[in-house]
Amino acid sequence: MRFLLSLVMAIPLTGQTYDVVIANGRVLDPATNLDGVRNIGVENGKIAAISAAPLEGRTRIDAKGLIVAPGFIDLHSHGQTPEAYRFKARDGVTTALEMEVGVSPVAAWYAARRGKALINFGATSGELPARMRVMHDTGKLLPHDHAVERASTEEERREIRDLVRQGLDDGALGIGMGIAYEPLATRTEVLGIFRIAAEHKTAVYVHMRSGGPVEPGAIDALEEVIADAAVSGASLHVVHITSTCIRETPQCLEMIAGARAHHLDVTTEAYPYTAGMTDISSAIFSPGWQARQGGTTYSDLQWAATGERLTEESFGRYRETGGMVAIYSIPEDIVRVAMTNPMVMIASDGIIENGKGHPRAAGTYARVLGRYVREEHVLSLMDAVRRMTVMPADRLGLKNKGRLAVGADADITVFDAARVIDRATFEKPAQYSEGIEYVLVDGTPVVNRGELVEGVLPGKGVRR
Ligand SMILES: [Zn+2]
């Protein structure tokens, strides 16, 4: 009896006991520009209280001296496996979305992850996977043969459009398009896909037709998709602006700003690295790739499986078999152009398989916060967090994510601004970031005191 009494006494008379309380952290909410010490109460997967006064919780996280931010939303995460989700969580990401390539069929993809995911997941209705299926292409993530080597027939185009529509009806978050990977897709065909996005009042997430300085290059490609957005009324999100536009990145960003100033809904993103990565057997490496990649050569390519730099001979060999290769094509000052521009969202474009891949899969968010915010003062902490949270949430039309507000989903990342840093490198990509101390997904801790929590799978499918 005395024990019970003392337990009751411990609870403030006015208060409630929350599932989780994150106490005394410096709360950053870019949606409202809140930057102050607060306590956050989480109940049933939602943020139930944000208070300067103390709160009581069954689980208490001491966040004194730490930053409490909305969980990061990665718009461009090809890695959609338990392995990939672990690296994302340790990098502060609570929602990882496959928006560029997308998936098809959509319903089966979501069903396969239901109840089995560490973090929230979602995808676009993918035009590329639909095309690969309809045209019987044998590639895995990206087209490899039939969808590259010949144009689609009218019947195939109808089937592709039907699959894309079906994916949207099944809840996909928009349409994904990789025009560079389907070089024989005509301008009219691409516009047809934008029209479907417009019908469904959503966006096309696009890897543009061409990049770099040699015409037809980045500028032509951006003109194509901006025109498609203007003509159709669809929204447009241009993926990885730096790896596509390379030295033309400032001009590309100016064009996007101009389109926005004239009331088109156009957004973009970048990752904080000087190399991209893609499949060596894809159309990106068809003859003339060196000029299209801004003057790169064989030794600018690094084979992900071994870390070796390529020669003309090894390039030819690996192009036959296929596999992931890093391309050192993005100058550091161009990375900084993107990091400096408040319009550019942070997105990883990452994929990691059996510990092999690009370090961006594991380190994108901690690298921006550690290297570009803390060490080099390229952008402010609030600006960085905004571009990782509320900006992608708004792009997706998700009112309950990307913000710390009462009623919002309790996806929360707590990090040490003085220590946060990426550890993943091109040689050893499978290294967790440091300084991400606590991560909550739907109110459940998945990272606790800087370590992954075992045996929890709170991630939910995010749909339109
Ligand atoms: Zn891409």
The tens digit of pLDDT for each residue in 50-106 reads 999 999 999 999 999 999 999 999 999 999 999 999 999 999 999 999 999 999 999
Percent of the chain residues topping a pLDDT of 90: 96
Between the CA of 178 and the centroid of ligand 1 the distance, in Å, is 7
96 beta partners: 74, 121
Is residue 12 over pLDDT 80? no
Between the CA of 177 and the centroid of ligand 1 the distance, in Å, is 9
Is residue 425 over pLDDT 80? yes
Is residue 10 over pLDDT 50? no
Percent of the chain residues topping a pLDDT of 70: 97
Between the CA of 197 and the centroid of ligand 1 the distance, in Å, is 19
**pTM of the predicted model as reported, rounded to 2 decimal places:** 0.95
For residues 430 and 15, the model is more confident at 430
Which band of pLDDT confidence, cut at 50, 70 and 90, is reported for residue 14?
low
274 beta partners: none
Is residue 435 over pLDDT 50? yes
pLDDT at 4: 46
Between the CA of 455 and the centroid of ligand 1 the distance, in Å, is 33
Between the CA of 377 and the centroid of ligand 1 the distance, in Å, is 28
Between the CA of 78 and the centroid of ligand 1 the distance, in Å, is 10
The tens digit of pLDDT for each residue in 346-388 reads 999 999 999 999 999 999 999 999 999 999 999 999 999 999 9
Which band of pLDDT confidence, cut at 50, 70 and 90, is reported for residue 438?
very high
Between the CA of 244 and the centroid of ligand 1 the distance, in Å, is 8
Is residue 2 over pLDDT 70? no
Contacts of 432 (CB under 8 A, 6+ apart): 87, 90, 91, 362, 423, 424
Task: Mark the residues whose beta carbon lies below 5 A from ion ligand 1.
Answer: 207
The tens digit of pLDDT for each residue in 122-135 reads 999 999 999 999 99
